[in-house]
Amino acid sequence: MKRLARLVQSATPTTAVQFRKNAYGQNGVQSFLRDVLAMANAAVEGSRYIVTGAEFDARGRKRLLGVDRDDFSGKPAYQSLANEHIEPPIRIRYQPVTVEGERLGVFEIGDCQDRPYMMRIDFSESLRRGDAYARLNNSAVKLGRRQLQSLFEKKFRDSVSAANIEIGFPGDIIHKDKKLSTCGLSQLPSAIASAKLHELIEAKTRVHASASNTMVARLTHARLFGTDSPYEERSTDDIRAEMRQIERRYHNHDQHFLFTEHGSDLQLVILNQGEEDLTDASLTFALPNHTSFYVASQLPRLPRDDRFIDRTPAEHADYPAVTARDNAINVSVKLGDIPPGEPIDVFRTPLRLCVGSDLKGRRIGIQYSLFAQNLRTAATGKLRLLF
């Protein structure tokens, strides 16, 4: 923190340091992506920095304006936005720094040796797939064909061929297909609880006389919830309100059911068949977002007596980064250097999946991309999960 505070106090706008008056926020995502691209492609060595909440006036004097605390809440998730839209992956760390009583934000962008960095998918009409920017002095300049060709040629001269990389599922040989078991999702704790409340509502609505209605409701309640659960007179509106809270109430129970009791572990391996290390490698891949296909965004909590306890920070840190979108679930993991020779595991803690029986007999594809600083082009391919 002291290092960043000194940077904010002493730095002026350069190719490696940008100052921005306001935080990006939800409405500034396009500017954020453009600025990150420009910083990543800048012709400088080492880390690069974007400081939010500070500006320089017409006379070159620095003004500290500050950034709201909410901008550090994870909404928007700046690292996830970069992972989703920019390739190869970029390491970004966003931290609050207090200088002269003002809270500022500092984006620290890791050493970028895998240029050019480009838009992976369209964000808007003016920021499209393949667009790239580079910071020159104090501005972001869109890269043209000649500049991109020069960067690609340099990368090609100093790089390793993707043909030397094999990725797949572990075994005696590296497999491209993996079979997973399915389970009945009707047994989810929240699904069972919801079905009981549905039946209780139906019992109450079948009988109109108040005395009989109460008796039927009591008998139905005892059958569904057991005699140890005391009966409480509730209207159908009260029960429906409880049903709307089912998923939240049973979240930990459902996660335990899906990823501990009925889940499958997914591990991948990478084999570098070249003659030199891959440096600063990272892997991304996409899975379909289907209502019967669950991927744990983090390790489930552990049951202890009548409650659930959280995992340790180290356990959470070992689990891959999982981001759910409308049509896909994106998974990314930093691998560091990959030596040639033996296959290495991709995940320190395997990815956890659960597949509903609706998908039995079907198969899905996994599109992956492996990036590394000295990899000539991304190593891409497709694996299959068979249910």
For 281-303, b/e burial (b = at least 16 CB within 10 A) is bbbbbbbeeeebbbbbebbbbee
Q: Is the peptide bond before 76 cis (omega within 30 degrees of 0)?
A: yes
For the beta carbon of residue 78, count every other beta carbon within 10 angstroms.
Answer: 21
Q: Is 368 exposed, middle or buried (0-12, 13-18, 19+ CB in 10 A)?
A: buried
Could you give the CA distance from residue 170 to residue 175 in angstroms, rounded to a whole number?
A: 6
Please say whether the beta carbons of 353 and 257 come within 8 A: no
pLDDT at 366 over 80: yes
For the beta carbon of residue 376, count every other beta carbon within 10 angstroms.
Answer: 17
Mean pLDDT of 188-199: 76
- For 67, residues 6+ apart whose C-beta sits below 8 A from its C-beta are 22, 23, 52, 53, 96, 103, 104, 105
For residue 272, what pLDDT is reported?
93
Residues 212-225 pLDDT 10s: 455 555 555 445 45
Q: Is the peptide bond before 88 cis (omega within 30 degrees of 0)?
A: yes
For residue 24, what pLDDT is reported?
95
Classified as helix, coil or strand, 292 is: coil
How many CA atoms within 13 Å lie on the side-chain side of 248? 5
> Residue 215: which H helix or E strand, with range?
helix 210-225
Mean pLDDT of 49-69: 91
The rounded percent of the chain whose pLDDT value lies above 90 is 53
For residue 159, what pLDDT is reported?
65
Could you give the CA distance from residue 165 to residue 372 in angstroms, rounded to a whole number?
A: 11
For residue 191, what pLDDT is reported?
81
What DSSP string describes 244-275? HTHHHHTHHHHHHIIIIIS-EEE--EEEE-SS
Q: Tell how strand 102-109 and strand 118-119 pair up.
A: unpaired
Could you give the CA distance from residue 62 to residue 18 in angstroms, rounded to a whole number?
A: 12
Could you give the CA distance from residue 94 to residue 274 in angstroms, rounded to a whole number?
A: 36
Mean pLDDT of 191-204: 70
Could you give the CA distance from residue 45 to residue 112 in angstroms, rounded to a whole number?
A: 8
Sort residue 16 into left (φ over 0), alpha (ψ -120 to 50) or beta. alpha
Dihedral of the alpha carbons of 366, 372, 378, 384, in degrees to the nearest 10: -20
Instruction: Give me the chain's average pLDDT, please.
Output: 86
- In this structure, what token pair is assigned to residue 276? 């030199």
How many CA atoms within 13 Å lie on the side-chain side of 26? 3
- In this structure, what token pair is assigned to residue 287? 């899975």
Q: Domains in the chain and their CATH numbers?
A: 2-157 (3.30.950), 162-183+262-386 (2.60.40.10), 189-249 (no CATH)
Residues 217-263 pLDDT 10s: 555 544 545 545 554 555 666 656 666 777 788 889 989 999 999 99
For residue 210, what pLDDT is reported?
46
